[in-house]
Structure formats: C-alpha cells, structure tokens
Amino acid sequence: MNISFEGQTVIVTGAAQGFGRAIALAFAREGAQVYACDVLQQGLQETAALSEAAGTPLHVRLTDITDRAAVNALVAEAAQQTGRIDVLVNNAGGVLGQVGRPLEEVSASDWQSIFSVNVEGAFSFAQACAPHMKRQKSGRIINISSGAGLGVSLTGIQAYASAKAAQIGLTRQLAHELGEWGITVNNVAPGFVRSNPTTERQWQSYGEEGQQRLVNGIALKRLGSPDDIAGAVLFFASAQAGWITGQVLSVDGGK
C-alpha cells in the first residue's frame, strides 16, 4: 500500500512526545506540511529537531488546546500559509498528572480539567477545521482516545475513562454530520504503550509481576510502540480509508 500525503496540510496536537511526536514525524516523512502543536516547548523543539535531521522539516507551534482563540489562530495560520487543511489529528490529552482516587475525593476542577483537554480541545479543533474541509469537500479527522474509553481506566481515573468515551461519541456524531462533505471522522484507541513520562511511571508502578501480567493479557505478548499508533492514524488519513468513517480502531496488540 503506497500512502503519500504530498501537498496536504496536517495538524497534529500533543506533538511534543509520545504518540503525537510519532504521528507528526510520520506525516512529515510522507510529504505533508505538518503543523505540530503542544504546550511543552522543549518537547516540541525536540520533535522539530528530529524531523529536521530526517530531512522532513515541520512547523511547531506552542498552543494550549483549551484556549479557543489560540486554536483558531493556529488553524487560520496553517490554512493561510498552505491554502488548505486536509488532516486533523486530535492527539493531545492525558490525565494531567492525576492519579486514581475514590470518587468522593475528586474535585470539580480535576474532573473538568481532564474533560477540557481530552474532549473540548478536540471539539474546538474540529470546529475550526471544518469550514476549510467543507470548502474543499474533503478532509480527515482522527481522534486518539484510549482503551479506557471502551472499557475502564487501568489507573481508576474516572474523568479520563469518561472523557475518552465522550470523545468516541463525538467521533461518531461528527462522522454523520460531516460525511456529506467528504469528511471522514475516525478514532484510534491505543492500548498501553510506554510513550511518555506518565505511562513510564505507570509501568514502573506495576512492578515486575504486574508488568508481566499486563503483557500476558495481550494476544501478541508484547507492548506496542508510538509508531504502531502512527501507522493506524496514517491509514485513516489515507485515500485507502475513504469509505471508512465513524469507526474506532483498537490498536492494543489484541485483548
């Protein structure tokens, strides 16, 4: 399968590390004009340096996805500079340093902050990109959720499981709303991957026995990598996935 994104404009959120970095670098390798954003400036610069070293430079922008004005500004800039928006990857999210606690100990602000970055950020970017995609009568939106959105959070974080489930609901709803303009909206639900400092701490917290138990519960008997997630995203963004929308693809090694 020959997948190329020459001449396409791609926006990737949460690109300073992990999945987002792998996704941004993969699109750049395939010829896309990539606008990679995050709130972590050092990580963004590392992503830019890796892409530059590979001979496939990309654009990095410091952007808070919970700030709608900043989201609109980034999308407007990308559209003005390239004339189009072809692919949006809503990868930014996570647990924001929170840990599992009993329900009665979760504050309203902790609950809302996870929803803001995992759901509202994806909504804001989709809302900003939709007019450009409608005008082109084509586009791809790929949301990155989690196995937690299909089941339960391994760490017991209620807001995270709920927010990722909500993001999956948003995916299906937007697929039906935007389909008549040739815009597909799909979702990738990764399993556990050691992709950033948060997941590394989680992995270490399991201890040797817990780590082995987690791996044994995977059909392929190994953990995946950020590149495994990037591969699924590139497929959904490709011409080969033109009649696939509203779907959730679990990329988890088999459960």
pLDDT tens by residue, 76-87: 999 999 999 999
* CATH number, position 108: 3.40.50.720
Is residue 46 assigned to a domain?
yes
Query: Is 89 domain-assigned?
Result: yes
Q: Does 59 map to a domain?
A: yes
Q: Which range marks the domain in which residue 36 is found?
A: 9-251
Sorting pLDDT into bands at 50, 70 and 90, what band is 1? Answer: low
Report if residue 206 sits inside a domain: yes
The per-residue pLDDT for 255 is 84
d(CA 163, CA 217): 25
Q: What amino acid positions are annotated as catalytic residues?
A: 160
208 in any annotated domain: yes
* Model confidence pLDDT, tens digit, residues 184-209: 999 999 999 999 898 899 899 999 99
Place of tokens 């799909």: 186
Domain count, the chain: 1
What's CA 173's distance to the chain center, in Å? 18
Residue 4 domain-assigned (yes or no):
no
What are the pLDDT digits (tens) for 138-178?
Answer: 999 999 999 989 988 888 899 999 999 999 999 999 999 99
Q: What is the DSSP string of the chain?
A: -----TT-EEEEESTTSHHHHHHHHHHHHTT-EEEEEES-HHHHHHHHHHHHHTT---EEEE--TT-HHHHHHHHHHHHHHHS---EEEE-----TT-----GGG--HHHHHHHHIIIIIHHHHHHHHHHHHHHHHT-EEEEEE--GGGTS--TT--HHHHHHHHHHHHHHHHHHHHHGGGTEEEEEEEE-----SHHHHHHHHHTHHHHHHHHHHTSTTSS---HHHHHHHHHHHHSGGGTT--S-EEEESS--
- Mean pLDDT for 197-222 is 94
pLDDT of residue 46: 98
Is 69 within a domain?
Answer: yes
Within-domain flag for 18 = yes
